[in-house]
Amino acid sequence: MSAPDMIDATRSLTSRQMALYRFTRNPAALIGAVIVISVIIAAIFAPLLAPFPESAGSFVDFRNRHAAPSWEHLMGTDNVGRDVFSRVLYGFRVSLGLVVGVLGVAVPFGVILGLVAGYFGGWTETIIMRFTDIMLALPPLAMALAITAVLSPNLVNAMIAITLLWWTWHTRLIFRIVKAQMNEDYVEAAQVAGASHFHILFRELLPNCISAIAVKISLDAGFVILFGASLSFLGLGIQPPTPDLGTMVATGSEYMPEMWWQAVMPGLAILYAILGFNLLGDGLRDMLDVEL
């Protein structure tokens, strides 16, 4: 009721400036952004940053195996003498590759289905949304295990398994937003102006979903990393010697608790990356003022 009066106080700022202000006043979001950027840099420049780049492969140095963390090996070495810190940096690469691969396919697919279902309604909506409901009813880990077990476990198949399950959340989110947008007159205005369905879907409706998609992707990234790591931990994801964080935790756990760093350090790395994406996602949500 007092909205006009309240807005008046800030009228000299653009909404972009206000959003940026909200973001910079949110320490958690800033920390999240710094963590995510550091993970991305680590992944891209792993060969340059890693003190022992050869550790990423099937390198063996038995004289140095099970070395505790030291200045030379910040996170110690593993059971064949590879530098855990170097492998963690490469591990970020694999994790981010998984995120890009999964979300790169699942998000566009899910978003388009959500747009179409929300815009056309009727039978189109019923078919798409009920199918989405069925996919959502399948227990994700069990499904992923089944798929990777059938297709032979490797990075690509893990990606396919996660992608097959992931798009549903985006379909639901976008469907709900589009349904709400359909009450706005601008959709009808575009129809009166003779706009094509393609135009209304991608030029009118999609821009109104972008903030929500951005927030969802950021929150998703953490979960995809976790999901991928879980699969690898169970031996159904990425296979050695590829340096995957989940596989490293699984292998390292055999030497717990004496040589704790082999499992704990990659575990902390997973925690670090997920925390970063989640904090960033929450910050974006406050900044862009969207509800998920």
Partner 1 sequence: MSALLEIDNLSIGFRAYGQYRRVLHDVSLTVGEGERVSLIGQSGSGKTVTMRTIIGTLPMPPGVVEAGTIRYDGRSLLDLNKIERNKLKGTGISIVLQDPMLSFNPVLTIGRQMDDIVRYADSRLGQSRSTARRRAHIVDTLAKVQLSEGARILDSYPIMLSGGMRQRVLIGMALLNKPRLLIADEPGTALDVTTQDEILALLNMLVAEEGLSLLLITHNLGVVREMADRVYVMDKGRIVEKGTRDAIFTAPQHDYTKRLMAAVPPLYGPDVVTIENHHTDPNPAIRIAGVSKDFVGRSGMFHQQRTLHRAVDKVSFDVMPGDIFGLAGESGSGKTTLAKMTLGLINPSEGNIRIDGQDIAQIAGTADFRKLIQIVYQNPGSSLNPRRTITDQIAVPLKFTGHETARIKTRVGELLEMVDLPADMANMYPHELSGGQKQRVAIARALSVNPRILVLDEPTSALDVLVQSTVIDLLHRLRDEFDLTYLFISHDLSLMRNFCNRVGVMLRGQIVEEGPVADVFGNPTHAYTKALLSAIPVTTDEAEAQKPIVSKEERAAVLNPSTAIGG
Residues contacting 19, CB < 8 A, separation 6+: 287, 288, 289
Q: Which of 150, 186, 256, 292 binds partner 1 (CB under 8 A)?
A: 186
Distance from C-alpha of 269 to C-alpha of 220, rounded to nearest angstrom: 17
Question: Is 289 among the residues that bind partner 1 (CB under 8 A)?
Answer: no
Chain positions 209 to 228 lying near partner 1, rule: CB under 8 A, are 210
Least distance from C-beta 171 to partner 1, angstroms? 21
Nearest approach, Cβ of residue 113 and partner 1 (Å): 21
The CB-of-194 to partner 1 minimum distance in angstroms stands at: 4
Question: Hey, what are 159's tokens?
Answer: 């990606």
In the set 27, 196, 289, 292, which binds partner 1 (CB under 8 A)?
Answer: 196
Query: Which is nearer to partner 1, 74 or 214 (by Cβ)?
Result: 214
Pick from 48, 71, 142, 207: which binds partner 1 (CB under 8 A)?
Answer: 207
Bridge partners of 77, per DSSP, are 83
Residue 93: phi and psi, rounded to 5, are -60, -50
Amino acid at 114: G
Q: Which is closer to partner 1, CB of 141 or CB of 195?
A: 195
Please give the Cα distance from 240 to 256 (Å, whole number). 19
Q: Is 180 in the site for partner 1 (CB under 8 A)?
A: no
Among 101, 94, 103, smallest CA distance to 240 is for: 94
Dihedral over alpha carbons 80, 81, 82, 83 (to 10 degrees):
150
- Under rule CB under 8 A, which residues in 9-48 are in contact with partner 1? 9-10, 12-15, 17-18, 21-22
Which of 1, 13, 88, 28 is closest to 276 using CA atoms? 28
Instruction: Note whether 194 binds partner 1 by CB under 8 A.
Output: yes
Radius of gyration of the chain (CA): 23
Binding footprint of partner 1 on the chain (CB under 8 A): 1-2, 4-10, 12-15, 17-18, 21-22, 184-186, 188-196, 199, 203-204, 207-208, 210
